[in-house]
Amino acid sequence: MISKALALALLLPCAAAAQTDFQELQRFDAAAVSALPLSGLPADKSWGVNYTLRGVVSLTEEGPFLNTIDGRLFKLDLSDRKARRFDGKTVVVEAQARQADELSLLKVERIAEYEPKAGEVVPAPYQPRRRQALLLESKGDLIKMGNVRTMREAVPPADSYDWTTMTMRPELIRNVYFVKKPFPPEFLAAHSFLVFTFERGGLRDANGKEPMALALSIEGKTRTDQTFSPLTGLKKTFGIIWSLSTWEEYAARTVYHEKFRLYPYPVNLSHDQKAGLLREAMTLAAVDREGEFYHTIKNNCTNNLVILFNRVLPKERQVKLWTIPYMVYNYKATMPQAVIGNLQKQGLLGRELLEINESTLRTVIP
C-alpha cells in the first residue's frame, strides 16, 4: 500500500518552474492525494515514454515501420496482421517507448487512419524560452551545438531571449554538476538539471567568448496557453524538450526573474566518463521529440538525467529505474529530493557546493 506522503512525493518530482501553477501545488495536500485514483500513479503495465505521432505505415521484411510526416522512422511493435490493414495508409498512432534513450521501437497502444478534419484547430505556439537543440558537428575532438540560449546583458530580459552556437571540446571537460532548483512547496518540489564546466578553450560561443559553463535542462515543452501542474503532467498534456543554455543565463534568469535559488552537487565520474556523459547528453538533446510527452514520473527532468548517468556507468553502478519493471517506477530515480540522497549514498554525487543566489551569482563554478 503506497503511503500518502510517498504518493505526494511521487507526484512532484520536477516542473518548469517559470510556468508552474504554484497555487495548485500549495493546495495539493494529503487530502488531495487520498482522493487520487491509484491509476494516476505508475501502476500500469507500461513502458516509460508516451508518444502520439502521425505518419505512413510500411510493412517490410523486417516488420512494420512508421514514417512520420516530418521524416522520422520508428519500428512498430505491431502484429503483421494488423499492420497489413494500415500498410501504405496515413495513420495516427498512440504508442510507448521504453525510455528517452530507446526510441527506435514503439509499442502500439492504438492505431487508426488519419484524415485532417475541415477547420481542424491549430494549437498555440510553443513558449519562446525553449528551442530544439541542434547537433551541427560531432567528431573526435569537437562538438558544435546550435540553439543555445545565452544573454547579452547582466540581467537577461524577462520575456526576450538570445541564442548562439556553442563549440565544445570533450577532452577539456572539467566537472559535471547535478543542480537542484527547489520551488514551493520546497520540502517536496524541485527541478533538476546538469551543468558542464570546462578548462580554458573547452567551451566557446559563436563570438569566441567563453561562458563559465553549459546547462542542459529537460523540461515540459509547454505552449503559450499552458501552465505546468503536477496533475496534468501525469497525462498526455505537455511535450518535452532537452534545452541548452549558458550557466550564466540560466542562473541569472532563475535568481532575478523567478526569485529562486540553485544548489549544485558535483558528479563523481572519471574524466573519460565526464567526456562520455557530455557526448551522450548533446546527442540526446538533439533528438527531435515532437510527439513525445512529458510525464511527471516516468519522463521528466530528473529520471532522464539518471538515464544519462547509466549510459556511462558500469552495469554494477547503474541506478535502478523501476522498482517493479514497467509497473512501478523507483521514486529514488525520479524525484529530485530523493534522487540526490540516493546518488550520494551510491557515491555518484558529492556534497552541496553552495547556494546560488543574488550575492553568489557570479561565483565561478570550478
Per-residue pLDDT at 16 = 52
Q: What is the pLDDT of residue 230?
A: 67
* Helix ranges, 115-270 (H): 247-252
Within a 10 A sphere around the Cβ of 137, how many other Cβ atoms?
A: 12
Q: Which residue has the higher pLDDT, 176 or 38?
A: 176
Q: Is the pLDDT of residue 272 over 90?
A: yes
Per-residue pLDDT at 257: 96
User: Which tops the pLDDT comparison, 266 or 123?
Assistant: 266
User: Which of the pair, 361 or 329, is modelled with greater confidence?
Assistant: 361
Q: What is the mean pLDDT of residues 94-102?
A: 94
Task: Return phi, psi of residue 322, to 5°.
Answer: -120, 130
Average of per-residue pLDDT across 296-316: 95
b/e map of 66-76 (b: 16 or more CB within 10 Å)?
Answer: bebeeebebeb
The grid coordinates listed for 21 are 501553477
Supply 256's cell numbers. Answer: 532575478
pLDDT (0 to 100) of residue 329:
87
- Specify the pLDDT at position 187: 66
CATH topology for 49-113 is: OB fold (Dihydrolipoamide Acetyltransferase, E2P) (2.40.50)
Residue 6: the pLDDT is: 45
The pLDDT assigned to 331 comes to 87
Q: Which residue has the higher pLDDT, 325 or 8?
A: 325
- Digit-coded pLDDT (tens) for 224-263: 888 877 678 888 888 999 999 999 999 999 999 999 999 9
- 350 compared with 224, residue with greater pLDDT: 350
Identity at 93, one-letter amino acid code: V
Q: What does the longest C-alpha to C-alpha distance in the chain come to? A: 65
Collapsing DSSP states into helix, strand and coil, what is residue 278? helix
pLDDT > 70 fraction of the chain, expressed in percent and rounded: 85
Is the pLDDT score of 107 beyond 60?
yes
Backbone angles phi, psi at 50, to 5 degrees: -90, 140
Using alpha carbons only, how large is the chain's radius of gyration in Å? 21
- Cite the residue boundaries of each domain of the chain with CATH code 2.40.50.500: 49-113
pLDDT at 156 over 90: yes
> What pLDDT, in 10s, does the model give residues 5-44?
444 444 455 655 555 544 444 444 434 433 433 333 343 4
Mean pLDDT of 78-96: 93
Percentage of the residues of the chain whose pLDDT score is greater than 90: 67
The pLDDT of residue 244:
98
Determine if residue 135 is left, alpha or beta; phi over 0 gives left, psi from -120 to 50 gives alpha, anything else beta.
Answer: beta
What is the mean predicted confidence (pLDDT) over 208-220?
96
Note the pLDDT of residue 120.
64
